[in-house]
Amino acid sequence: MDNILQIGDSFIEQNTIFSELIQELNQSFSNSNVIVPLRHHHDFPNPKVDSDSTLLLMPAWNPSKIAGVKIVTVSPENSQFDLPSIQGTYIYFDALKGSVKAIIEAKSLTVKRTAAASALASSYLSRKDSKSMLMIGTGALSINLIKAHVSVRPIENVYLWGRNINKAEAIAAELKNEKFNVYPIQSIEEKISEVDIVSCATLSKTPLVLGAYLKPGQHIDLVGAYRPTMREADDDTIKKTSVFIDTYQGGLKESGDIFIPLQSGVLKEKDIKADLFELCSNQKSGRKNNEEITLFKSVGHSLEDLTAATYYYNKFKNE
């Protein structure tokens, strides 16, 4: 037990280079020997805040090499305690011997790999000349999604909306020394029709991205709405876009953004263009032209966690 590495928030925050992490994910999705069972997803009552919380168990292993499992809780009402909604830990194993190699803080690992996966998708789906972005949501993912998207596209201006304008202003202040501009805005509608990329990471139960406001050539990145009863985009958005998902395994049933349109018949499974495995291995193509509106829905995948854990473990060992 003495040899188990402890990799915390501060190390992950200080040692993430999104271009590197995105490339690691690209390689993992394009040629992976990793076995990934369907994750365990358990909702449990939390009567003191009148809202369910969720326990997620996400295992993955590369036989005789490495393995890992992420144990995470999602508590949507944690803002009232001034705590992040996502908390947990990642246990990183030697898959040959079964010994624990490291315990990694899961919140930072999750937001980094989630943002990197969205940017990886964007590298296939957004226009290469994308210069503007609307970030919907001011949670832990927002800064990471902005930085990740900027690492793959020449984004100059970022517009940021959240239910609390003070949080948007604080994030803008935090990013004031970056090479791009960040502008807090009062409403989604004032910028959604103008930007090249729309990224949404919220716990909203009702759509925030409305198809009526979309324009040709945009890319929509949906990261929140992790339950079948939640959604960030309306049916009109689904009808107007070419839909891509991170994986068929979880993407078809874990989020209302895909599950609800599939159930109602607005979307057919055969109409989903590709997942990240197919995009990264060049089995299927991404954006076809500059007029197409593309949509990527992410629910997260244990392959991303294991890839990120390996990335941070190797950095920690080599520092």
Query: The CATH number of the domain where 55 resides is what?
Result: 3.30.1780.10
Domain check: are 50 and 138 in the same one? no
Q: Give the CATH number of the domain where residue 191 resides.
A: 3.40.50.720
Residue 117 lies inside a defined structural domain of this protein: no
Domain check: are 65 and 131 in the same one? no
Domain check: are 166 and 186 in the same one? yes
Domain check: are 85 and 151 in the same one? no
Residues 275-318 have pLDDT tens digits of 999 999 999 999 999 999 999 999 889 999 999 999 999 999 98
Domain check: are 82 and 205 in the same one? no
Domain check: are 276 and 162 in the same one? yes
What total of structural domains would you count in the chain? 2
Residue 307 lies inside a defined structural domain of this protein: yes
99 conformational bin, left if phi > 0, alpha if psi -120 to 50, beta if neither: beta
Q: Are 271 and 232 in contact (CB under 8 A)?
A: no
Domain check: are 163 and 266 in the same one? yes
Domain check: are 313 and 286 in the same one? no
Domain check: are 229 and 151 in the same one? yes
The model's pTM:
0.91
Domain check: are 252 and 295 in the same one? yes
Q: What is the pLDDT of residue 205?
A: 85
Q: Where are the beta strands (DSSP E) in 84-216?
A: 86-94, 100-105, 132-136, 157-161, 181-184, 197-200
Query: Concatenated DSSP letters for 180-217?
Result: SEEEE-S-STTTTTT-SEEEE----SS--B-GGG--TT
Domain range spanning residue 247? Answer: 125-301
Residue 115 lies inside a defined structural domain of this protein: no
Residue 114 lies inside a defined structural domain of this protein: no
Domain check: are 146 and 91 in the same one? no
Residue 266 lies inside a defined structural domain of this protein: yes
Q: Are 96 and 64 in contact (CB under 8 A)?
A: yes
Q: What is the pLDDT of residue 249?
A: 77
C-alpha closest to that of 39 among 110, 98, 102: 110
List of the chain residues with pLDDT < 70: 1-2
Domain check: are 262 and 142 in the same one? yes
Q: Which residues pair with 92 in a beta bridge?
A: 68, 102
Residue 120 lies inside a defined structural domain of this protein: no
Using only C-alpha atoms, the chain has a radius of gyration, in whole angstroms, of 19
Residue 119 lies inside a defined structural domain of this protein: no
Q: Are 297 and 222 in contact (CB under 8 A)?
A: yes
